Amino acid sequence: MANAAKGAVAQAASTAGTSTGFASVEQVRSGLKGVNYLADDGIAGVVYLAQRLGKPVLIEGPAGTGKTQLAKSVAELTGARLIRLQCYEGLDESKALYEWNYKKQLLRIQADKKSDSWSAVHDDIFSSEFLLTRPLLEAISAADPVVLLIDEVDRVEVETEALLLEVLSEYQVSIPELGTITAKQIPMVFLTSNNTRELSEALKRRCLYLHVDYPDMEREKEIVLAKVPDISENLADQIARIVRSIRQLDLKKAPSVSETLDWARTLILLGVDHIDAQQAKETLHVLLKYQTDIAKAAKELSVDE
C-alpha cells in the first residue's frame, strides 16, 4: 500500500475513533480506498451518515457485489472489532442474542445442593457468569468500538426480524433474570439482503438504505487491479469488458464481482496475458455456475469472435 493510502487510513481511523466521527464523505471514500474497497460517493455518503447519525445501514443488492465486504472494510478502516451474525432460516434468540449455560448451571446446583436457600442458588446461577452471549448481545455490551454485521437478514423469519427491531431501536437488551443491558457505545450496524424476500417496513424505517449493484465497467476494472496482484491493466480491462457483456445476457445467475476476481486470478495462474475466445470458453466455469449460462456465454463469445 502506498504511503498516501496508509496516511488516509490512519487519518480516517483516528477521526472515526472520536466522538465527531468521520469528517467528510471524501475522507470515507479515500479511507475505504486505502483498505482496497473502491466506494463511489453514494456508498461513502451512506457510511458517513451512518456513523454521524448512529443509524444502521440496510444494504440490498445482488449476491457478490461487495455488501458484506463493505462492513468488513469499514471495520478495518476504523480499527473496530467486527462481530458477524450470519442469518439463516430457523435462527432464533438463543443463537442471535443469548442463552444460559444450562450444563454449568446444573453443576452449580449440584455443588450447592446442601444449601438451605433456593433464592441464593437461583441468584447465583442466573448471573453473568452463566450467560452465553451471542452476536447481538456481544455487540450491545462491548466497551470497545464495534462494527456489527447482520448478514443475509432476508433469510430469517418475521419473528426473528422483530427481535432485531427491538435491539436496533434502543440498542438495549432486556434479560428477565438480569435486567436491561444498554449499549456502552453505539455500534456501526450493517444489515445485508439479497432480496430473497421483502423486509418489513418497520425494519427499513429504522435504517439508512443503500443499494449496491454490479459496478460499471471502469470501476470493475479498478477493483480487479486493486484486488489481483501482478495483473496487467490490459488484462483487467479485457476481463471487465467480457464480464460486462456476459451480464447483459439472460442468465440464471449473473457473475458476481467475487467471481470476476476468481476468474482474474485463474487467468493469472494459467499464464494468460491476453484473453482469446477459446481461453475464455475454457474457463467460463469459474465465472458462471450453471451449465445453461455457460452455454449461452460460450455462444456469445463465438459470435464476438
Dump pLDDT digits (tens) for 79-95.
999 999 999 999 988 89
Lowest mean pLDDT among 55-69, 122-136, 215-229, 236-250: 122-136
Mean pLDDT of the chain: 87
State the greatest distance between any 2 C-alpha atoms of the chain, in Å, as a whole number. 87
- Provide the pairing of β-strand 172-175 with 179-182: antiparallel
**Which band of pLDDT confidence, cut at 50, 70 and 90, is reported for residue 12?**
very low
The pLDDT-based confidence of 166 (bands split at 50, 70, 90) is confident
3 state DSSP class of 37 = coil
Cβ atoms of residues 17 and 51 within 8 Å:
no
User: How confident is the model over 270-299, as pLDDT tens digits?
Assistant: 999 999 989 999 999 999 999 999 999 999
pLDDT beyond 50 at 19: no
pTM assigned to the model: 0.82
- Alpha-carbon distances, residue 110 vs 7, 102, 103 (angstroms): 58, 12, 11
At 160 the pLDDT is 87
- In this prediction, residue 175 carries a pLDDT of 86
SS3 (DSSP) at 95: helix
β-pairing, 208-211 vs 172-175, is: unpaired
Domain locations in the chain as residue ranges: 3-97+134-211, 217-304
What is the pLDDT confidence band of residue 303, given thresholds at 50, 70 and 90? low
Distances in Å between the Cα of 59 and the Cα atoms of 47, 88, 191, 269 are 11, 17, 6, 33
Distance CA 236, CA 247 (A): 16
Instruction: Give the model's pLDDT for residue 168.
Output: 86
Query: In the CATH hierarchy, which fold is given to the domain comprising 3-97+134-211?
Result: Rossmann fold (3.40.50)
CB of 162 closer than 8 Å to CB of 203: no
The share of the chain scoring above pLDDT 90, in percent, equals 62
pLDDT above 80 (res 97): yes
The yes-or-no verdict on residue 126 having pLDDT over 70 is yes
